[in-house]
């Protein structure tokens, strides 16, 4: 039955687990199928062409696995491959990206006039956040900075360590974000170091909760007329690493269905 079909979520690694957890909290009766492309991380340092190739193949896999919606829990893929992902998903499977719902949410709020953005090189270079903001909220300005070392540090399991703080201090040293009122964490890894980011920003700057916004957007998009049932959650990776195992257990406990999937 259609209501038992899972929601497909993918990222290059552990970052998308922040989005998966937000979806799990908001939609506890929905089944999830998560795919982490750990064999090819990080996406933020890949070419747009390669990001599109990886993202299209994963989307095809999730659709073939019966997913009723696709959440692109990766800003690099959302910024560089959304057209290819939508095409791979087909007309009957909705796709939720990380960019449009967040900018739409910010645009609906009062007081968001100068917005900061940190993300991978691929995300910042795409310019999609700025383009989307110009379309939805032309009165706001965007101050963006690529922070390429940060996602790799988090992926290596250092999000409970002092290393991300030191990396962020180096990126924030020129005071570019001194006059912003809101900050977008433009990589799904970054909510894991949200407190480090908040500590470096001027008092009163709001750090946007992107995973929560994406979960709310998914809830809006899904048409749910189903009876309650016991959900099943699966986590798949292209390379089963110790870091991913640790992070998956960190977010969802030890009793999870975790498997390695290879594409031929």
Residue 39 has pLDDT above 60, yes or no: yes
67 catalytic, yes or no? no
Among candidate residues 82, 150, 187, 237, the one labeled active-site is 187
Where are the CATH 3.40.50.1860 domain residues in the chain? 2-98+212-260, 100-210
Provide the CATH topology of domain 100-210. Rossmann fold (3.40.50)
**Residues 98-112: b if buried by 16+ CB within 10 A, e if exposed:** bbbbbbbbbbeeeeb
Give Dmax (Cα) for the chain: 55
Question: At 188, is the pLDDT very low, low, confident or very high (cuts 50, 70, 90)?
Answer: very high
Residue 25 has pLDDT above 50, yes or no: yes
Per-residue model confidence as pLDDT tens digits over 79-121: 999 999 999 999 999 999 999 999 999 988 876 889 999 999 9
Per-residue model confidence as pLDDT tens digits over 46-68: 999 999 999 999 999 999 999 99
Provide the CATH topology of domain 2-98+212-260. Rossmann fold (3.40.50)
Question: At 227, is the pLDDT very low, low, confident or very high (cuts 50, 70, 90)?
Answer: low
Extract the tokens encoding 221: 């998009």
Question: At 225, is the pLDDT very low, low, confident or very high (cuts 50, 70, 90)?
Answer: very low
Distance, CA of 97 to CA of 140 (rounded, Å): 21
Among candidate residues 27, 51, 67, 74, the one labeled active-site is 74
Q: What is the 3-state secondary structure (H, E, C) of 48-91?
A: HHHHHHHHHHHHHHHHHCCCCEEEECCHHHHHHHHHHHHHHHCC
74 catalytic, yes or no? yes
């Amino acid at each position: 039955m259609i209501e038992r079909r899972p929601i497909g979520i993918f990222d290059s690694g552990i970052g998308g687990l922040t989005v998966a957890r937000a979806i799990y909290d908001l939609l506890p009766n929905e089944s999830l199928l998560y795919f982490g492309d750990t064999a090819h991380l990080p996406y933020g340092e890949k070419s747009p062409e390669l990001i599109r190739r990886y993202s299209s193949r994963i989307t095809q896999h999730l659709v073939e696995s019966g997913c009723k919606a696709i959440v692109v829990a990766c800003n690099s893929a959302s910024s560089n491959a959304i057209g290819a992902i939508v095409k791979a998903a087909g007309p009957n499977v909705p796709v939720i990206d990380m960019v449009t719902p967040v900018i739409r949410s910010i645009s609906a709020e009062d007081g968001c006039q100068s917005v900061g953005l940190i993300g991978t090189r691929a995300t910042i270079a795409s310019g999609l956040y700025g383009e989307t903001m110009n379309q939805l909220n032309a009165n706001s300005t965007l101050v963006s900075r690529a922070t390429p070392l940060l996602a790799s540090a988090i992926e290596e399991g250092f999000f409970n360590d002092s290393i991300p703080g030191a990396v962020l201090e180096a990126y924030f040293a020129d005071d570019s974000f001194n006059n912003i009122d809101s900050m977008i964490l433009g990589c799904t890894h970054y909510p894991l170091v949200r407190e480090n980011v908040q500590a470096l920003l001027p008092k009163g700057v709001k750090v946007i909760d992107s995973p929560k916004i994406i979960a709310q957007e998914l809830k809006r998009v899904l048409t749910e007329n189903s009876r309650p049932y016991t959900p099943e959650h699966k986590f798949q990776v292209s390379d089963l690493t110790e870091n991913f195992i640790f992070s998956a257990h960190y977010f969802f406990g030890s009793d999870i269905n975790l498997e390695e999937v290879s594409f031929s």
